[in-house]
Every structure is written in C-alpha cells, then in structure tokens.
Amino acid sequence: MAEHTSRIGFIGLGIMGAPMALNLIRAGYSLIVHNRTREKEAALVAEGAQAAASPRDVARQADVVITMLPDTPDVEAVYFGPEGIFQAVRAEHLLIDMSTVSPAIARRIHDQAVLAGAESLDAPVSGGDVGARAGTLSIMVGGSTAAYERAYPLFQAMGKNIVHLGDAGAGQVTKACNQIVVALTIEAVGEALVLAQKSGVDPHRVRQALLGGFAQSRVLEVHGQRALDHQYDPGFRVRLHRKDLAIALNAAQDLGVSTPVTALVHDMMNSLLANGLGDRDHSILIDELARRANTEIR
Amino acid sequence: MAEHTSRIGFIGLGIMGAPMALNLIRAGYSLIVHNRTREKEAALVAEGAQAAASPRDVARQADVVITMLPDTPDVEAVYFGPEGIFQAVRAEHLLIDMSTVSPAIARRIHDQAVLAGAESLDAPVSGGDVGARAGTLSIMVGGSTAAYERAYPLFQAMGKNIVHLGDAGAGQVTKACNQIVVALTIEAVGEALVLAQKSGVDPHRVRQALLGGFAQSRVLEVHGQRALDHQYDPGFRVRLHRKDLAIALNAAQDLGVSTPVTALVHDMMNSLLANGLGDRDHSILIDELARRANTEIR
C-alpha cells in the first residue's frame, strides 16, 4: 500500500460516495469523512477513516476536500453554509466537487476558492454505484491543469476514464452533455422497440440486428436489454436523470441553445415521477412508451 | 468462381443497386439487369450481365428477381405497373425487394406473390454506397424461412450482417426502427455538442469523453466527427432519411404508436430540405442545431 502525506476530506457517504471513499482508503490515503446522517460515517471509520462533525471541520483538518452530494441545495449548504467548507478555507486547499450540479455552481465554488488563494475542480462522474464500487468511474474534470494534476492520483483510485475537459465548469458541462445523449438515446431505442413490438416483429431480434450497424449504442445494448427483461431496478434512477436534464435545460436556456428533444424527454420523466416511478431505472422510459401505445415489450 | 444455375434479375442500378449487382456477378451469378434510365445498364453489361427492356422482361427470364429502388412509387410501378414484374410472375419466382419502403408495401408484394404460388422477401439494407461497394451491407430480411434460405447465398455476395427478422414486412419494420434510432441519436449528439460549444467547452474533447461511457454510439463516433469536421458530403442524404422517417411515422400512426421525437426530427429534416440541404449528409442536423443557437461547432 502506498503512503500519502496529504489528508483527504470526503463529504457525502451515500450510495456513490461511500464506495469512492473506501477506494481512496484502500489506495493508502488518510481520510476524514463526514455525512449529514452521521451514522453513515461508521462503516468508513471501521476501515480507518476519521469522522468529522461538519464540512467546516473536514476542511480544517484536510488539505484536499472531496464532495459527493445528491443535489444542488446539498452542495450549496456544504460549501457556503454556516458550517460549510468555505468557513475554513485555506490557500493550501484543493476542493473537488464530484456531485452533478450546474456549471454555474461549479464556477461559483471556483471563484470563491480563488478568492482564498485555494484551488477547485468540478469532477462529476458516470458509471453509477457499480462503477463507484469497482473503481471504474468515468470522471469529467473542469479546472486548472495544476489542480487537475494534483488531483489525478486520487481520481485514479476512484475511476478509469479520467478526462480533463477545460476550465472551471467544463466537467459539469460535459456531464450535462453526457446525460442529454444517454436520455435521448433511451428515447430513440424506446420509440424503435415499441414500433417493432406493435408491428409484430420480435424486439429481441430487432435489437440484435440494430447492434450490427449505425444504430449501435451502449444504450441499445444495455438499456435495450433491460427493457426486454423488464429489469427496472436501478441502475440509474429516473429522479436523478430528470435532475440532470433540468441542469442541462437551465444551461441551455442561459446560453440560448435550442434543445427541443431534451425538453421533451425531461417532460416524459416528469410524467414517470408523477406516476411513482422516480426510483426505477431510467430505462423504464421504454416501458412508458410501450404503455402509451397500449402494448408491452416482450 | 462459383457457378450457379439460377438466373438472377436485378432491377434498379443506382448508387446502391449497381455495386450490389456487380458483387453478384463477381460471385459467379448470371445477371439480367434493368434500369429505368437504360444507359445505366451498360456498365453491368460490360461485366457480363444481360440487359432487359422492362421489369416484366426481367421476370420472364429470371428465377430470382431483386429490386433496389429509391422510393415507394418506383417500387409500386416496378411490381404492379403495366410493364411490371407481376405481369410475368411464375411459381418458381423468388422476388426480393431490397428497397426501403413501408412494411405495408412489403406485405402487399408478398400477398400478390403468394397468389401466384411464388415467394417474396423484403430485405432492406443499411451501410450506404460504401457498404454496397464493399459487399458489407447489413441486410434485414422478412419472409418465410424457406425463401430466406434460398436467398441466403445471394445476400452473402452483397452483405455481411444478414438477419432474418420474421415474416413478410419484418425486414422493413426493422429498417424503420434502425432509421429512427440513427436519426434520434444524431439529434442527441447535436443537442449535446451545441450545448458544449456554447458553454465554451471544446466539443472534440466532449465527444472523446462521452465515447468512454454510456453515451457511446456509432453515431457519436462517426457523425459526431463529421460535425466537428464540417464534412457534410453524403454519406446518407437528409432527403432519404426524411423519407425513411415518414415510413416510420406512417407505420406508427397505423398502429397507434407514440413516437414524439421521431415526429420532431422528421420535422427538422423538413426544414433542412426547405433550406436546400436535402442532398447533404444527415449529420448536418447537428449543424442546424448549432445555427439555431447562433453558433458553429468548431
């Protein structure tokens, strides 16, 4: 096991954060952890981490602070709140937000960090809890090259496909782009498979045939198979994907970008939530398209 | 070179049909060819094919008749017209329509063939003129297993990924599904890359990052690169893709399938045609999304 001198703070020990923190411990890092629901710290403490009472406490003790939080209000509270990271920020700090939030928030954290002489990175991930546990996350990074290089060994402990996209916010922009493409490709696969089903053509065979040509995608492969198997345990929840599309739509609105299909699929996800399906896998969009056509993929 | 006893008719020697017919000749088949613009027969005759004056003449002399035509009215004329194939149909005939038309027309040809004791297959392709020349087309086949097995060696001379999808019409249904997925994935990639561009994040890097995860697709790979290079020489023409989406939308309407995004992308292709871009590659949809956001992918 490697030894590292800098102390790493990790805030947010949910379904993603906990295994990411664990991978850092296993790579030889000393961790100071915090979670709003404090009981969740215990599992990491059992692995050698130290618990801290607040984000501010984490920042006091650590040189690098990583955050992995569910949504924008959580990130705002953890960074800017009265017990937040910025109450204890120092010039030595590297702040890495790996949550998925808007590029605007990433830039706000960055500006505030710079004011204190510190550094920050936005580094949202994809790959889900499976990737988090396996240490194979894709990590999309925005921020300075110096900060990126400083963080790189940490990213290596948590992910595999690590890409530096540009300045502050570029990681979140890329994540938003990723979520647009995934959502719209699920919709594409859904419209096609439902048409096949209702035409009396076996959607299993259609999926197989389409994988051999220009219609090929990871979504057709993975989510197409999920729809055929009616396997909608998450995976990636509709609720979270809807949140990510809302981030994309807000960014698009700020910039004057026409994203008609993102808006439409966001709206369909609203409908899934309204029908109590927010905690199912996002591929259930295909099932909803089948329902609208009064059929079932089988 | 193999020798084959049955004589193969081939009608429609355009950008796709001509190289497909040539591949059959090179595989050792005796061809009887016909094209509405008769001069196009000359190149195939120079390779050993025999010319025939009409589709009816082709059917008289051949046991298997393959058609590869641009659009529905052409297929209707060639099969059902006064000089059409059905004027000379015999029980020995296997009729193979490799054009992209509606499943309804494929079933109509099939029913008429069955009345004469003959067989038919719908066998639309994907892979474009490049695939046609290289003999690497994907071929999506609908019809009886017996007819499929009879045609299989011919398909092998023209394609690589050959799939039997089901009864008459199943090939066309699958092709429609393929065209839905490709069109909607281009839209997905477009909305994402334009958002990246307007956010000031390099779309080359975003494409590269997204290829490593669930957003991966052949379209992101190939058409994404085309958009970055502004390389809109076809490829596959907007005009033809719009036609294919119209087939899909008609089928969806007949069956009561909700395909909101297919309808929207079809509408965007209308707009491309109205602006004189019908003969550009379909990836120019990405360029149009950029234009709507008053930017340019670069």
The model's pTM is 0.94
Closest approach of A45 to chain B, Cα-based (Å): 32
pLDDT digits (tens, 9 = 90+) for B73-115: 999 999 999 999 999 999 999 999 999 999 999 999 999 999 9
* DSSP helix/strand/coil, B183: helix
* DSSP helix/strand/coil, B44: helix
Q: What is the 3-class SS of A194-259, one letter each residue? A: HHHHHCCCCHHHHHHHHHCCCCCEHHHHHHHHHHHHCCCCCCCEHHHHHHHHHHHHHHHHHHCCCC
In this structure, CATH architecture of domain B7-167: 3-Layer(aba) Sandwich (3.40)
The mean per-residue pLDDT over the stretch B32-50 comes to 98
Q: Find chain B residues with C-beta within 8 A of A165's C-beta.
A: 201-202, 205-206, 209
* Residue B192: closest C-alpha in chain A: A177
For chain A, domain boundaries: 7-167, 173-292
Q: Does B138 touch chain A (CB under 8 A)?
A: yes
Q: Given this chain, do its domains A7-167 and A173-292 carry the same CATH topology?
A: no
Q: Find chain A residues with C-beta within 8 A of B189's C-beta.
A: 181
Q: Does domain A173-292 have CATH number 3.30.420.10?
A: no
The yes-or-no verdict on residue B128 having pLDDT over 70 is yes
Question: In this complex, how many residue pairs, one in chain A and one in chain B, have their CB atoms less than 8 Å apart?
Answer: 252
Q: Does A27 touch chain B (CB under 8 A)?
A: no
Listing DSSP states for B80-109 in one string gives HSTTSGGGS--TT-EEEE-S---HHHHHHH
Vertex B40, ends B91 and B23: CA angle to 5°?
65
CA distance B165 to B143: 8
Q: Find chain B residues with C-beta within 8 A of A186's C-beta.
A: none
* Residue A205: closest C-alpha in chain B: B165
Per-residue pLDDT at A182: 98
Share of chain B above pLDDT 90, in %: 95
Verify whether residue B198 is a known catalytic residue. Answer: no
Buried-exposed string B104-135: b where 16+ CB fall within 10 A, e elsewhere:
ebbbbbbebbeebebbbbbbbbbbbbebbbeb
Where residue B1 falls among pLDDT bands split at 50, 70, 90? very low
- Yes or no, beta carbons of A192 and B182 under 8 Å apart: no
Ranges of residues in chain A with a pLDDT under 70 are 1-4
Closest approach of B55 to chain A, Cα-based (Å): 30
Listing DSSP states for B191-210 in one string gives HHHHHHHHTT--HHHHHHHH
The yes-or-no verdict on residue B3 having pLDDT over 80 is no
Buried-exposed string B207-242: b where 16+ CB fall within 10 A, e elsewhere:
bbbbebbbbbbbbbbebbebbbeeebebbbbbbbbb
- Yes or no, beta carbons of B257 and A293 under 8 Å apart: yes
10 Å CB burial of residue A160 (0-12, 13-18, 19+) is middle
Phi, psi of A2 (to 5 degrees): -70, 155
* Residue A204: closest C-alpha in chain B: B165
Q: Find chain A residues with C-beta within 8 A of B161's C-beta.
A: 209, 212-213
Q: What is the ipTM for the molecules in this complex?
A: 0.94
CA distance B90 to B162: 27
CA distance B122 to B108: 11
Residue entry with tokens 């949140």: A243
* DSSP helix/strand/coil, A32: strand
Per-residue pLDDT at B117: 97
